[in-house]
C-alpha cells in the first residue's frame, strides 16, 4: 500500500505492507532509529511514539493505522537545536543513563506534559508506568519530568 | 576549573535525549544479513545430526555449524570448557547448535526453525545439591568448578548458637537493549566487530582463538545497559556473528529477541548459604561458620570468581574473631550463570543480614543495636585477616537513620487498595563491598590507559566502556581537574581495540577507582612530559602549552601500579582481599497487603560511602538504579524453569521488573571517606547498591507482618504461603 502520513511535521509517502510494524517503518524505511525496540510486545515502552498526540507502542501498531495521521518520535521533540524542556530536564536531573529507554520516556513524558504542565509526582509515576528503565530506579526520571516545565519557566524569567 | 564534585552534563547526554546515539541495532551496513541461532532443546544429549528441511528454500541462507570454525571451538574465558557451537554433545537447553543468516530478520527466524537437530538423550543433572556426588559428570569428575575454604578458627563452644539456611534465587540483568553484535568483513580481509558490550578486550581474546588470527578489531557501540550481562556473554554473540560474516562474506547483524535473550543469557548464580554463628548473650559475635553451594550451570564462565567474592562477603560488615567459610561452586545441566552486578556479594549479604535479624530476634535485642555492637571500624580485621582502613560503616548508618527521620512522602494508594488493612513496616540492612578485583587481580591484569595532547585538547584512550554509568564523563573530569583545565577540552577516544589499550574489563566496581587512577596518572605524566619538553618547571597547564613550540601530538601511557600498602596471599587466601571497601546503609519503608501478599515499597533511604563523589548526579543515579534492581530481586523477579531447565517466563509480561509505580521514593545520601589511591579519593560504587536493599525489605516485611522469610524472592505467592504455614516470629 501507499502510506501517506506526517512524521515529525514532515510529509511522508512510502510504499509498505499494511501490516508492517510502525517501529520498522520508522527505523528501517525512514531511518529514524531514535525509536528503540526492547521487547517487541508492548511491555517496555522503548518504542513509544505519539500518534495524533496520543502515545502508542510502535511495536504493536501496524503501519496502516497511521494513514493520514501525525507521528511524533523522539527526533521530533526538539525545535532545531533547541531542546524541548523535558529533554533539557533529563540532562540536568540525570534522567538518562544508558539511554536506551530514554526516547520512549521522553515521548511519554511529553504527552503527559501536554495535558498536565505541572504534574504531581504520582501523576508522573502513573503516566510512565508503561515504560521500563533498568538503570535509574526512576527517581531522576520522575524528578526531571516533575520539574521540566518549572525549570523552563524559571529559565525564561 | 575543578570539575570534580560537579554535575557537569554527561558527554553523551545530548545524543541520548535527541535519539541520535547509535546503538548496534541502529547500524545497517550495505548488504547486511541478519543472524539467528539454532539452539538445543535438551538439557543433555548427543547430537546425532543437524538436518536442513528439504522443503525450505535455502538459496539465500548461510548456515554455520561447528565444522565451519576456522580456529578453536571455544569461548576463551577462565577455562576452555564452553564451545562456541555444540560439537557432539549439548550440556544445557538453549545451547547454540547452529547459526543461520538471511537477508531479512523474518527469513532468518524461519530458516532457524527449519534446521532440525536429532538428539540421543543422555542422563540429566539439574539439582546443585546433588552435583558433587552425582555419577553424571559435567565438569571434571566431581562437577566442582571451585572450592574455597577460609579457616580462621572455629566455634569457641561458649556462646549462644544460631543456625539457619538461606536461599537466593536466579535473576536476570535485564538490560533494556537486548544482546546484539554486528560483524563486518572488510575489503582488506580484516573484520570489524561492533556491539553492545562491556569488555572489548574479552571479545578480542575470545575471537582470536575462534579465528586463529587477530586481523580484526572490536568496537563498543553505545550500549543499552549491561549490569554484568554484557561482561562475558557477548563473546559468544560476537563469535556467532563473525562466523556467519566469514562464511557469507557479508556484514551480519545478530540482535537477540527478548525471549531468546531471557532463555539463553547468563543469570545471577543462585546460592544456598548455611550460617552457624555464636555470640555472647548480649549479641557480641564470637564465631561464624558459613557453608555455601553455588550453582554455576553447565559451563565454568566466571563462576570461580563469583564464588570467591561471595565467600569474602559472607561475614558482612561485621567484626568476627573466628570464621570458618566453605564454598563450593558446582555444575548442573542448566544454562551457565555469569556476571550480574554484585557478583556474589548480594547473595552473601542477603544471608548475613537475615542472619543478623535472626540473632536479634532470638536474643530479644534491637536489630539496630546488634549491628552497632558488631560493625567493623578502622583497624579491625576482615575474614581474611586484612586490616581495615577508610571504613564508614558507622557514618553511613547514622546518616541513613537521620535521613529516615523525615516523614514519608504521601503516595496515592494503589488502585483498589491502600485500604487500612495494608500493614506498614520498616527494615534496615547494611553492606560493605570490596572495590575492584579480588586479591592480586589488578596486579596480574595491569590495566593500561593513555592520554594524547592534540593541539590544545586532550583525548583519553581506554578500553573501559561507558555502559550508562558515565565513564565517558567522569574520566574527562578526572583529567581536567588534575590539569586545571575546563572539562570540555578533554574527550574520549572510541572504545575500539584498534585504538585504545586494554584497561581491563568494565566490571567489579573498578572503572572509576582503578582505571580512573590510571587515567589520573596519565595526566600527571603528561604534565611531566610537557615540563621536560619546554624546560619549564611550571605546574600551570596553560603556561606549559604556551611554551611549547611544536604542535606534534604528545602521547603518554600508564600501567596500573598496585597500591603498595595492600598485601594478599593467594595461596592461603589471607591479607587484604580488596584494596578498600565501600559501605552502605539502607532503610526500606513498605506496606504489604496481608490478603494478597503484595508488597508496595514506599521509601528507600540509602547512605553510601563513595570515597569521593566525582559526579554526584551520576553516582547517586548508580545507587538508585542498583538499589531498585535489588528491590525487584526481593519481591518481583523470579526465573521459572521447566523440567529441562529452560526459562518458562521468557517475556517482560511474566518476568516482572519494577516500574515507576513499583519503585519507592528514594532518599540518596552520599558519604565521602576517601581511599588514598583512588582518583581524588573515589571508591568503586557500581555494585554496592545491590547488596543490602533486599534484606532491608525482608526486615520491613518482618516488622509489618511478623513473618520471617529466609529465601528469595518474596513474591506474593511465597508471602502468602509463609503466612499459611504460620512462619510467624
Ligand atoms: S518494544 Fe514496543 S513496548 Fe517494548
Ligand atoms: S537509562 Fe538505561 S534503561 Fe533507562
C-alpha angle A150-A156-B1 in degrees, rounded to nearest 5: 90
Q: Is there a single domain that holds both residue B333 and residue B405? A: yes
How many domains does chain B fold into? 3
Task: Please tell me whether residue B236 adopts helix, strand or coil conformation.
Answer: helix
Assess whether pLDDT exceeds 50 at residue B160. Answer: yes
Give me the residue from B13, B653, B668 closest to A96, CB to CB: B13
**Topology, domain A85-156:** DNA polymerase; domain 1 (1.10.150)
Nearest CA to ligand 1 atom 3: A42
Q: Give the rounded percent of residues in chain B with a pLDDT score beyond 90.
A: 95
Q: Provide the residue ranges of all domains of chain A, joining segments of one domain with +.
A: 2-76, 85-156
The answer to whether A106 and A77 are in contact (CB under 8 A) is yes
**pLDDT, mean of residues B460-468:** 97
Other C-beta atoms closer than 10 Å to the C-beta of B531 total: 15
The pLDDT of residue B2? 82
In degrees, rounded to 5, the angle at the alpha carbon of residue B123 between the alpha carbons of residues B120 and B129 is 150
Mean pLDDT of B679-700: 98
Q: What is the pLDDT of residue B156?
A: 78
Helix (H) or strand (E) segment spanning residue B531: helix B516-534
Residues B380, B499 share a domain: no
B305-320 pLDDT tens trace: 999 999 999 999 999 9
CA distance linking residue A74 with residue B43, whole number of Å: 43
β-partners of residue B608 are B584, B670
Greater model confidence, B155 or B145: B145
Q: Mean pLDDT across the stretch B256-265?
A: 98
**If phi over 0 gives left and psi between -120 and 50 gives alpha, with beta otherwise, what is residue B631?**
alpha
- Best residue of B9, B17, B26 to probe chain A, by most A CBs closer than 10 Å: B17
Domain shared by B670 and B545, yes or no:
no
Domain match, B308 and B386 both: yes
- Residue B466 near residue B427 (C-beta atoms within 8 A): no
CA torsion A155-A156-A157-B4 (nearest 10°) is 20
Taking a C-beta distance cutoff of 8 angstroms, is the pair A107, A55 a contact?
yes
Whether residue B420 is predicted with pLDDT greater than 90 in this model: the reply is no
Percent of chain B at pLDDT > 70 equals 98
**What is the secondary structure of B555-624 as a DSSP string?**
EEEEE----TT--EETTTTEE-SSS-EEEEEEEEEEEE-TTT--EEEEEEEEEEE-SS-SSHHHHHHHHH
**Cell representation of residue B384:** 581474611
- Is the confidence at residue B9, as pLDDT, over 60? yes
pLDDT tens-digit series, residues B66-115: 999 999 999 999 999 999 999 999 999 999 999 999 999 999 999 999 99
Per-residue pLDDT, B728: 46
* pLDDT band at B414; cut points 50, 70, 90: low
Does residue A38's CB lie within 6 angstroms of at least one atom of ligand 2?
no
Q: Residue A154's pLDDT band (boundaries 50, 70, 90)?
A: low
pLDDT in tens, B189-232: 999 999 999 999 999 999 999 999 999 999 999 999 999 999 99
One domain for residues B230 and B303: no
Give the residue-averaged pLDDT of B500-513. 96
Q: Across all residues in chain A, what is the average pLDDT?
A: 95
Of the residues B255, B279, B298, the one at which a domain ends: B255
- What is the rounded CA–CA span in Å between residue B253 and residue B102? 10
Q: How far is CA A15 from CA A51, A67, A69, B582, in A?
A: 19, 12, 16, 57
pLDDT at B421: 84
Residues B326 and B396 grouped into a single domain: yes
- In a 10 Å sphere around its CB, with 0-12 CB exposed, 13-18 middle and 19+ buried, how is residue A123 labelled? middle
pLDDT exceeds 50 at position A157: no
Are the C-beta atoms of B29 and B250 separated by less than 8 Å? no
Q: What DSSP state is assigned to residue B677?
A: T
Predicted confidence at residue B77, as pLDDT, reads 96
Supply the pLDDT for residue B705: 95
Residue B8 lies in a domain: no
Q: Is residue B591 part of a domain?
A: yes
Tell me: do B487 and B392 sit in the same domain: no
What per-residue confidence (pLDDT) applies to B419?
Answer: 59
Who contacts B285 (Cβ-Cβ below 8 Å, separation ≥6)?
Answer: B277, B278, B279, B318, B319, B320, B321, B374
Which ligand sits closest to the CA of A132?
Answer: 2
User: Do B483 and B546 have their domain in common?
Assistant: yes
Options 3.40.50.970, 3.10.20.30, 3.40.50.2000, 3.40.50.300; CATH of A2-76? 3.10.20.30
* Helix axis angle, A139-156 to A85-93, nearest 10°: 120
Nearest listed ligand to the Cα of residue A103: 2
> Do residues B583 and B693 both lie within one domain?
yes
Q: Which of B227, B255, B283 is the endpoint of a domain?
A: B255
Instruction: Return the bridge partners of B568, or none.
Output: B575
The whole-angstrom separation of Cα B596 and Cα B573 is 47
The pLDDT of residue B415: 58
Q: Do domains A2-76 and A85-156 have the same CATH topology?
A: no
CA distance A99 to chain B (A): 5
Whether B148 maps to a domain, the answer reads no
Give the contacts of B187 (CB within 8 A, at least 6 positions apart): none
Flag whether pLDDT at B509 surpasses 80. Answer: yes
CA of A5 to the centre of ligand 1 (A): 22
Same domain, B464 and B603: no
Across B36-64, average pLDDT:
98
Q: Which domain holds residue B509?
A: 444-559
Within-domain flag for B336:
yes
Same domain, B404 and B452: no
Domain boundary residue among B506, B526, B559?
Answer: B559
Query: In this structure, which residue's CA is closest to atom 4 in ligand 2?
Result: A133
What is the ipTM for the molecules in this complex?
A: 0.98
Which of chain B's residues have a Cβ under 8 Å away from the Cβ of A108?
Answer: none
For B226, which residue in chain A has the nearest alpha carbon? A98
Contact B263, B335 (CB under 8 A): yes
Optimal mutation site among B25, B660, B693, interface A, most CBs of chain A within 10 A: B660
Residue A3 has pLDDT above 70, yes or no: yes
Amino acid at each position: 500500500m501507499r502510506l501517506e502520513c506526517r512524521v515529525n511535521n514532515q510529509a511522508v509517502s512510502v510504499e509498505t505492507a499494511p501490516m508492517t510494524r510502525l517501529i520498522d517503518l520508522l527505523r528501517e524505511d525512514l531511518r529514524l532509529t531514535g525509536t528503540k525496540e526492547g521487547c517487541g510486545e508492548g511491555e517496555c515502552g522503548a518504542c513509544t511514539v505519539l500518534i495524533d498526540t496520543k502515545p502508542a507502542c510502535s511495536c504493536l501498531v501496524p503501519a496502516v493505522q497511521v494513514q493520514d495521521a501525525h507521528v511524533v518520535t523522539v527526533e521530533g521533540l526538539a525545535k532545531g537545536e533547541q531542546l524541548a524542556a523535558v529533554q533539557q530536564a533529563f540532562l540536568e536531573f540525570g534522567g538518562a543513563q544508558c539511554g536506551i529507554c530514554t526516547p520512549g520516556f521522553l515521548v511519554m513524558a511529553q504527552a503527559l506534559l501536554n495535558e498536565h504542565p505541572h504534574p504531581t509526582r504520582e501523576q508522573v509515576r502513573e503516566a510512565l508506568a508503561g515504560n521500563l528503565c533498568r538503570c535509574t530506579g526512576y527517581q531522576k526520571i520522575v524528578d526531571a519530568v516533575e520539574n521540566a516545565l518549572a525549570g523552563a519557566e524559571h529559565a525564561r524569567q | 576549573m575543578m570539575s570534580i564534585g560537579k554535575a557537569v552534563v554527561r558527554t553523551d547526554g545530548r545524543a541520548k535525549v535527541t535519539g541520535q546515539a547509535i546503538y548496534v541495532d541502529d547500524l545497517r551496513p550495505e548488504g547486511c544479513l541478519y543472524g539467528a541461532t539454532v539452539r538445543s532443546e535438551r538439557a543433555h544429549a548427543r547430537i546425532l545430526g543437524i538436518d536442513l528441511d528439504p522443503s525450505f528454500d535455502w538459496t539465500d541462507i548461510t548456515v554455520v555449524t561447528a565444522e565451519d570454525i576456522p580456529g578453536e571451538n571455544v569461548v576463551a574465558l577462565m577455562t576452555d570448557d564452553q564451545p562456541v557451537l555444540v560439537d557432539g554433545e549439548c550440556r544445557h537447553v538453549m545451547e547454540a547448535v547452529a547459526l543461520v543468516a538471511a537477508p531479512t530478520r523474518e527469513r532468518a527466524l524461519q530458516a532457524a526453525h527449519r534446521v532440525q537437530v536429532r538428539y540421543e538423550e543422555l542422563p540429566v543433572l539439574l539439582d546443585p545439591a546433588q552435583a558433587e556426588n552425582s555419577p553424571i559428570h559435567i565438569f571434571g569428575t566431581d562437577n566442582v568448578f571451585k572450592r574455597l575454604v577460609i579457616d580462621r578458627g572455629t566455634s569457641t563452644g561458649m556462646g549462644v548458637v544460631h543456625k539457619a539456611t538461606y536461599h537466593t534465587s536466579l535473576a536476570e540483568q535485564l538490560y533494556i537493549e537486548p544482546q546484539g553484535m554486528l560483524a563486518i568483513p572488510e575489503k582488506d580481509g580484516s573484520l570489524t566487530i561492533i556491539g553492545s558490550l562491556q569488555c572489548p578486550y574479552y571479545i578480542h581474546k575470545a575471537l582470536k582463538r575462534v579465528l586463529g588470527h587477530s586481523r580484526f578489531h572490536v568496537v563498543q557501540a553505545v550500549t543499552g545497559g549491561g549490569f554484568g550481562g554484557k561482561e562475558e556473554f557477548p563473546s559468544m554473540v560476537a563469535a556467532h556473528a563473525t562466523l556467519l560474516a566469514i562464511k557469507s562474506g557479508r556484514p551480519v547483524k545478530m540482535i537477540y529477541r527478548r525471549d531468546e535473550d531471557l532463555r539463553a543469557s547468563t543469570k545471577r548464580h543462585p546460592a544456598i548459604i548455611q550460617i552457624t554463628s555464636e555470640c555472647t548473650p548480649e549479641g557480641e559475635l564470637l564465631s561464624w561458620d558459613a557453608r555455601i553451594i553455588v550453582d554455576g550451570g553447565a559451563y565454568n564462565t566466571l563462576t570461580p570468581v563469583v564464588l570467591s567474592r561471595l565467600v569474602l562477603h559472607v561475614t558482612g560488615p561485621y567484626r568476627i574473631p573466628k570464621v570458618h567459610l566453605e564454598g563450593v561452586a558446582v555444575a548442573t545441566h542448566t544454562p551457565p550463570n555469569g556476571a550480574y552486578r554484585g557478583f556474589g556479594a548480594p547473595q552473601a549479604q542477603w544471608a548475613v543480614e537475615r542472619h543478623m535479624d535472626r540473632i536479634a530476634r532470638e536474643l530479644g535485642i534491637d536489630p539496630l543495636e546488634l549491628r552497632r555492637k558488631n560493625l567493623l571500624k578502622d583497624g579491625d580485621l576482615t575474614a581474611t585477616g586484612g586490616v581495615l582502613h577508610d571504613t564508614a560503616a558507622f557514618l553511613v548508618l547514622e546518616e541513613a537513620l537521620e535521613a529516615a527521620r523525615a516523614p514519608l512522602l504521601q503516595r496515592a494508594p494503589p488502585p483498589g487498595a491502600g485500604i487500612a488493612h495494608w500493614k506498614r513496616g520498616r527494615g534496615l540492612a547494611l553492606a560493605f563491598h570490596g572495590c575492584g578485583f579480588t586479591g592480586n587481580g589488578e596486579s596480574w591484569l595491569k590495566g593500561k590507559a593513555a592520554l594524547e595532547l592534540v593541539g590544545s585538547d586532550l583525548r583519553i584512550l581506554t578500553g573501559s566502556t561507558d555502559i550508562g554509568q558515565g565513564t565517558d564523563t567522569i574520566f574527562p573530569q578526572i583529567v581536567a581537574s588534575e590539569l586545571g583545565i575546563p572539562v570540555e577540552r578533554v574527550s574520549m577516544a572510541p572504545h575500539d581495540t584498534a585504538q585504545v589499550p586494554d584497561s581491563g574489563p568494565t566490571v567489579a566496581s573498578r572503572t572509576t577507582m582503578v582505571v580512573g587512577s590510571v587515567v589520573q596518572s596519565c595526566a600527571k605524566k603528561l604534565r611531566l612530559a610537557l615540563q621536560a619538553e619546554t624546560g619549564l618547571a611550571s605546574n600551570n597547564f596553560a603556561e606549559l602549552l604556551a611554551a611549547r613550540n611544536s604542535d606534534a601530538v604528545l602521547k603518554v601511557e600508564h600501567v596500573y601500579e598496585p597500591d603498595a600498602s595492600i598485601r594478599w596471599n593467594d595461596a592461603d587466601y589471607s591479607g587484604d582481599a580488596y584494596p578498600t571497601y565501600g559501605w552502605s546503609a539502607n532503610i526500606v519503608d513498605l506496606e504489604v497487603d496481608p490478603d494478597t501478599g503484595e508488597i508496595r515499597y514506599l521509601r528507600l533511604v540509602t547512605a553510601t560511602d563513595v570515597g569521593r563523589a566525582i559526579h554526584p548526579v551520576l553516582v547517586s543515579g548508580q545507587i538508585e538504579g542498583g538499589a531498585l534492581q535489588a528491590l525487584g530481586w526481593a519481591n518481583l523477579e523470579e526465573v521459572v524453569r521447566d523440567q529441562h531447565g529452560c526459562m518458562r517466563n521468557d517475556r517482560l509480561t511474566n518476568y516482572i521488573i519494577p516500574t515507576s509505580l513499583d519503585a519507592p521514593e528514594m532518599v540518596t545520601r552520599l558519604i565521602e571517606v576517601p581511599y588514598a589511591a583512588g582518583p581524588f579519593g573515589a571508591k568503586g560504587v557500581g555494585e554496592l547498591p545491590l547488596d543490602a536493599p533486599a534484606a532491608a525489605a525482608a526486615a520491613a516485611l518482618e516488622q509489618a507482618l511478623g513473618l520471617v522469610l529466609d529465601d528469595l524472592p518474596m513474591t506474593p505467592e511465597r508471602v502468602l504461603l509463609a503466612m499459611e504455614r504460620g512462619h510467624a516470629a
